[in-house]
Structure 1
Amino acid sequence: MGHVEASGIVEAGRRELFYYTDWCYNVPEWFEPVRKTQILELPDSAGMGKVTQYAGTLLGRDMEWEARSVEWKEDEGWMMRASRGIPARMNMQLRFRFEDAEAGKTKVTCWVGYHAPYPFLGAVIDRIYLRKEALRLANLAIGGIKRMAEQHRVRPVEVAVEKRKADHPGYGEGSAKTIATSRAGE
C-alpha cells in the first residue's frame, strides 16, 4: 500500500478542528476537490459507521464515491475508507490526526493511503502519478483547514454539535441511522 502524509500548524483548538473536519457537510469548505457531500448513515455513539457520499474531482477525474468511518477517537483523529467508486477499488483511505501545538494552535496531520492498480504496472503508475497526486490532495486538505481557521469559519464545538442535531434529528442518540433525505453543501 502506498501512502503520503502532510502536516501543518493551524491556529485553532484541537477539539474544534476535530469536530469541524469530521462533519462531512464542512468538507467542501476546506477541501476544494470535493464539491458535494451527503450523509447516508449517521455514526453510532462511538463515532463509527458513518457513511458519506461525495462528489468531486479526484485523480484528475470527476467522480462520485462513498466512504465509511473506520476509526474515530474524539479530539485525536478520525479515518474514512472509500467503500464505493473508483477510490474503493484503490482502497483509498483518509486519516487525520490532531495534536496540541503551542497555545491555541494544533498540529494537523493528513495521511492518504491507497493501492496502485495493476500489479506490475502499478509501481510505475505510483511513482509517476499517484504518489504526487495523493500528496497534492493531502496538502490541499491541510491548506484548506488553515484557510478556514484564518477566516474564523471553525465554529466552537457546542455550536457545531447543535448544527448537527438540527441538520439530522437523531444525531448523537447512540445508534446508527440511515438518512432518507438528501442534504448537501450545508
Structure 2
Amino acid sequence: MTQPEKTDASGSATARTTASAGGPLPLPPSVAAGPLSHAILRVARVHRMLAGQLLRRVGLHPGQELVMMQLWDRGPQRQTDLVRLLGSDAATMTRTIQRLENAGFVRRRPSTSDKRATIVEPTAASNALRQEVEHAWLDLEASVVNDLTPKEQAEALEALSRIEAGLTRAATQVD
C-alpha cells in the first residue's frame, strides 16, 4: 500500500511502500518512477498466490476456475469464444483446456456446425466442483475487502475500472 510521499534528507520527495511485515520501506529506485504500477504488480502477485492456495483444495490452478465459470454459466463454448471472453491467447487457452481435460473437468468435441471449431463442455466431475470453486472465490473476495468499507470497495472498483480502461487504450496503441 502506498503511503504519502516523504521528504528525504536532501529535501526531495520519495514514495514509500508498506512491507508485508508492516513497516514502511522505500521503493527500489528502479521502480520509484512507477509506484502505482509497482503496487498493482504486488497486489496481483499476492492475490494470485492466495487464489492458488484456495483453488488447490479443489484441484484447480488460478485461471482454470475462470474457464470453468464460463462453462458453468454459459454452457458449452467454442474454444475461440473462451479465448475472447477471458482475454486470453489461443496457446494459453489450449494448454488450460488440455490440463482441464486431463483432470476430467472438461470434454472437447468437434463442432457440428463448424468443422474448424472445437466445443468445450464441462463434465459431471466439474459440475461437482462448482460449489467448492464458488466458495473459494467467496473466501478470496472476503480477503480482498476485509479492511474496506462498502464506500471504499465502490471507490476501489471505480478506480480499478478506470485503470483497466486506460491500460486497454494504451495496449491498443502499442500494436
| Shared fold (TM-score, shorter chain, > 0.5) | no
Please state which structure has a larger fraction of its residues in helix: 2
TM-score (norm 2): 0.30
TM-score (norm 1): 0.29
Relative contact order, higher structure (CA 8 A, sep 6+) = 1
